[in-house]
Amino acid sequence: MALWIRLSTWCFGGNEFGVRALGTLAAAAGTGVVYLLSWHLFANRAAATLAGLLYCSMLLIAAGAIIVTPDTPLVFFWSIALYALAQIYRGNDARWWLVVGIAMGLALQSKYTALLLGAGIPCAMLTVPRMRVWWRRPEPYLAGILAFAILLPVVVWNYRHGWASFAKQFSRADVDGLGIRYVAEFAASQIGLLTPLVFVLAAAGCWLALSRRGNEGRDAELFLVSLIAPMMLYFLLHSLHARVHGNWTAPAYPVLAILGAQAAFRASEFGERMRSTIAFCRKWAVPTGVGIAAIAYLQAIAAPLPLDAAKDPTSLMVGWSLLAHEVEGVARREGASYILTSSYALTSELDVYSDGAIPILQFDEPMRWLSFERPQESLFSSPGLYVTEDVRDRSDELVSRFREMRRVGEVARTRDGRLIARYVIYLVAKPSRAVLDAAE
């Protein structure tokens, strides 16, 4: 992600637009990949066009593309791998395995979820007859080796740092009791992020593929379902014991768009009531998705909807510049030489929007900051500030680190005068031990 953002800002400037531009372009390119995938697999230009439109009208794609997360490059490189696999499915051209290996390696560099595509490929090789020939060929195994080679720097870093990110991510698989609380939440998040009408089409497309109704294109549909089945099954099982964030399944969305378009053009294979439902969804899915995305963008820009600012997701994007300015004002007033936080998000936002004159440091979670130069202890000989959101106040952990500590102010992050979050500020001085946690 650091390289992705650096490339984007190098091309488009070191501001909010520059940070987000490459992700938006990648989402647009992904729409083209979805179109080509559908066209090459099913040779129906109308269905391919609908697939591309369904994809770019999904809320996660249409609005989520401007939010820079690991999902952006993950979905992009996953889509490239899908396209290469479709070419292998169509023509048995072994050279495409090279593209699969490179794309999978870059997807793995983006997010470990790409491991589930590594599970989807052998699944497709088991379930789709024309893919079984590759079990006896070296190219799939060489593609896996190539993907691992691209991931190797991440593995080496983990080896040198106690397998930190592997332990963090794979600890999510720990099971501590089962229930259905999160299953409904998982389903609701998918309906919302796909948008409801696209969800209906995608579900119908998956049903067609798995029920194997009709003959035309059924192996191609099964091929697509097989590639995402391990991921969807894993997250469904995960939801039996823990929360699954809706964006985690984002790599499945290109396939779901294609299958949804196929269902729209094969409505005759369903019963009368379902046919009318699919016809309605085919007509209104794209306009509805575009409308929902437009509302999301409008809310992000002007916040016309009277939502609780603290619970409005678009509020995460506003108020930081003024907050940083106010915190810097308190720092100058109190003669602070540094600013401490206990949140990597707050640290990053203050650092981006401050003038850079005062170091901003997170005193805990040192593993997040290994790539940054650790400050000299002499920095802490002068007074500093501790800034924290009031509901995440961890000032009690600083009592043992400083001989002097007192509350000196309070600032708020607001949107058009409406409170988003409140932050408290403490003055700290005379450290009694190391201020920053040591990296393990």
97 vs 36: CA distance, rounded Å:
18
> How buried is residue 390: exposed, middle or buried, by Cβ count under 10 Å (0-12/13-18/19+)?
exposed
pLDDT at 181: 84
Q: What is the pLDDT of residues 286-341, one digit of tens each?
A: 999 999 999 999 998 888 888 887 778 889 889 999 999 999 999 999 999 999 99
Query: C-alpha 322: how far from its chain's center?
Result: 27
SS3 420: strand
pLDDT at 213: 54
Q: What is the pLDDT of residues 198-248, one digit of tens each?
A: 999 999 999 999 886 545 458 899 999 999 999 999 999 999 988 899 999
Whether residue 373 is predicted with pLDDT greater than 90 in this model: the reply is: no
Residues in the chain: 440
Please, what's the b/e burial string for 180-194 (b: 16 or more CB within 10 A of its CB; e: otherwise)? Answer: eebeeebeebbbebb
Mean pLDDT score across all residues of the chain: 92
pLDDT at 132: 94
Top pLDDT among 181 and 173 is at 181
What's the average model confidence in pLDDT over 115-126? 96
Measured on CA atoms in the order 26, 30, 32, 37, is the torsion positive or negative?
positive
Tokens coding 374: 């650790």
Q: What confidence tier does 348 reach under pLDDT thresholds 50, 70, 90?
A: very high
Whether residue 50 is predicted with pLDDT greater than 60 in this model: the reply is: yes
Whether residue 255 is predicted with pLDDT greater than 80 in this model: the reply is: yes
Q: What is the pLDDT of residues 91-105, one digit of tens each?
A: 878 999 999 999 999
Quote the DSSP letter at residue 149.
H
Highest mean pLDDT among 73-87, 354-368, 403-417: 73-87
pTM for this one? 0.91
Percent of the chain with pLDDT over 70: 97
CB atoms within 10 A of CB 24: 16
Q: What angle do CA 408, 413, 417 make, to 5 degrees?
A: 115
Q: What confidence tier does 440 reach under pLDDT thresholds 50, 70, 90?
A: low
Whether residue 176 is predicted with pLDDT greater than 80 in this model: the reply is: no
pLDDT at 164: 86
Please, what's the b/e burial string for 404-420 (b: 16 or more CB within 10 A of its CB; e: otherwise)? Answer: ebeebbebebbbeebeb
Q: How far does the chain reach from its first CA to its final CA, in angstroms?
A: 24
231 vs 254: CA distance, rounded Å:
14
Q: Map out the domains of the chain as residue ranges.
A: 2-302, 316-431
pLDDT at 167: 85
pLDDT at 215: 52
Among the ranges given (6-20, 33-47, 144-158, 213-227), the one the predictor scored with the smallest mean pLDDT: 213-227
pLDDT at 418: 86
Percent helix / strand / coil, the chain, rounded to 5: 70, 10, 20
pLDDT at 217: 53
pLDDT at 303: 87
Whether residue 17 is predicted with pLDDT greater than 60 in this model: the reply is: yes
CB 433 within 8 A of CB 401: yes
pLDDT at 92: 74
Nearest-10 crossing angle of helices 218-238, 71-91: 150
